[in-house]
Amino acid sequence: MNTGVGVVIVAAGKGTRMGTRESKQYLQLDDKPILVHTLSAFDRMPFVDEIVLVTGAGDVDRCRSYVRAYGLSKVTTILAGGKERQDSVCQGLAALGDRVEWVLVHDGVRPFAAETHVRACLRQAELTEAAVLAVPVKDTIKIVNREGVIEATPDRSSLWAIQTPQAFRLALLLEAHAKAREEGFTGTDDAMLVERLGRQVSVVESDYYNIKITTPEDLPWAAWILRNVRGEGSQ
């Protein structure tokens, strides 16, 4: 019976908003690459059976060296990604082992997903087949037109900022990716592809520490989180 849990970690992007020559996933955070923190977090989770890492074509060898150096025993496959994030996820899904029934898709530059929240997301997916981590939006959100004029103010109580990991029955996510590929559709996340099948996706509340490190301002905040909230063993 297929009951395994696989994780696809996507780290193939260049991250131009960081403004560095080095891709953001390889920048140092407490003397380790950000990506290593992310991989280590999932490697420690007892319910995770295997991890597939999708990275840039020129970074496969260095990622293999990270796996050896940091003893990341659950990383079974490292492969080069596609043109778009969606292509990279699809390639990662195809590389999962035969025993995997449930998959978590996660950003390589989100090193602070808490084990309790990841487990809750997975458990919800086991009930509904699709679930995502998210947090309620704190700020007032405005819909603005191309001329910079506010057109509407949505009700903040219904707005959530979506995070990763996103958890799915593997067969469902494969179906969603196949449909998107057939129709030439590119979504902003995997949940969007599942939504297009007419399937419901559940939201599981996370916390605001599960940040995506994207711009220079995120780095000192990430260092503070690592020191004070998400140090190894504190999750």
pLDDT, tens digit, 9 for 90 and up, residues 5-39: 999 999 987 766 666 677 889 999 999 999 999 99
Hey, what are 143's tokens?
Answer: 């819909």
pLDDT band at 231 (very low <50, low <70, confident <90, very high): confident
* Per-residue pLDDT tens over the stretch 68-88: 999 999 999 999 999 999 999
Per residue in 205-227, pLDDT (tens digit) is 999 999 999 999 999 999 999 99
Residue 105, phi-psi category: left (phi > 0), alpha (psi -120 to 50), beta (remainder): beta
Distance of CA 195 to the CA centre of its chain: 18
| CB distance 204 to 132 below 8 Å | yes
Q: Per residue in 107-158, pLDDT tens?
A: 999 999 999 999 999 999 999 999 999 999 999 999 999 999 999 999 999 9
| Residue 23 pLDDT | 84
The three-class DSSP label of residue 56 is coil
Instruction: Give residue 22's pLDDT.
Output: 77
Instruction: Please give the model's pTM, rounded to 2 decimal places.
Output: 0.94
So what's the pLDDT on residue 112? 98
d(CA 133, CA 164): 6
pLDDT tens-digit series, residues 41-60: 999 999 999 999 999 999 99
At residue 8, the 3 state secondary structure works out as: strand
Above 60 in pLDDT, residue 235? no
Assign 164 a pLDDT band (cuts: 50, 70, 90): very high
